[in-house]
Amino acid sequence: MYKVFVKDIPIILSTEKNIGDHYTTIPLKKAHFKKLVKKINNGELLYVNLYHKNAEKLERFLRKKIKVVEAAGGLVYNTRKEILFIRRNKKWDLPKGKVEQGESYREAAVREVVEETGVKDLEIRDFLMTTYHVFCRNNKFKLKITYWYEMFTDYDGPLVPEAMEGIKKVKWKNFEKSQKALLDSYENIKLLFPTEYLTTHPNDRPV
């Protein structure tokens, strides 16, 4: 199953015809992807499941229907078990950026974390997952496919937001502060976190 987020609303691509009563299932071969994206972007559509029994055809379909930008980033822990967040576009996010020609995803992920935050001495511990979201640039929709890695560092120096990329803040956040930040983050970012980070007391949620 793939979740392709458009304004934090997922288009589901799956091998299952029925994934819930709220979802309209459309066979992959009949799907007009850009039209679906426009409807979701305009608030006209919420629950869509694009179906094909062959899982390998799902991402292939995406890459044919919309221009792809590949990126890589990191979920970074330090020695205090804090997580590295950036503040950009009035949301808490994780450091990531476009993969350059000739780079591996791992190399791009490390480079982007260093450039966007100033954090050094990064060690990749594991590959986490791939996320998908649609964004609009110059009135054209594009699909960002981001490859995420779990990283560790013992770096304890200054944090330097990359202003040219619109980053306003870089912060290490403990468990409780990470929970709060995720209430003001993106749905595709939340996929990277263990369930306990997404569970808060109702009184802690913003009204």
* Residue 207: predicted pLDDT: 36
In the chain, what percentage of residues exceed pLDDT 90?
A: 83
Contact indicator for 50, 26 with CB cutoff of 8 Å: yes
Spell out the domains of the chain, with CATH numbers in brackets: 2-65 (no CATH), 73-129+148-204 (3.90.79.10)
pLDDT mean over 95-118? 98
Residues 6+ apart with CB under 8 A from 202: none
Q: In whole angstroms, how far apart are CA 170 and each of 90, 100, 150?
A: 13, 23, 18
Q: Looking at the DSSP assignment, which residues form a beta bridge with residue 126? A: 150
Q: Looking at the DSSP assignment, which residues form a beta bridge with residue 132? A: 4, 145
Looking at the chain, how many residues does it have?
207
pTM, whole model, 2 decimals?
0.91
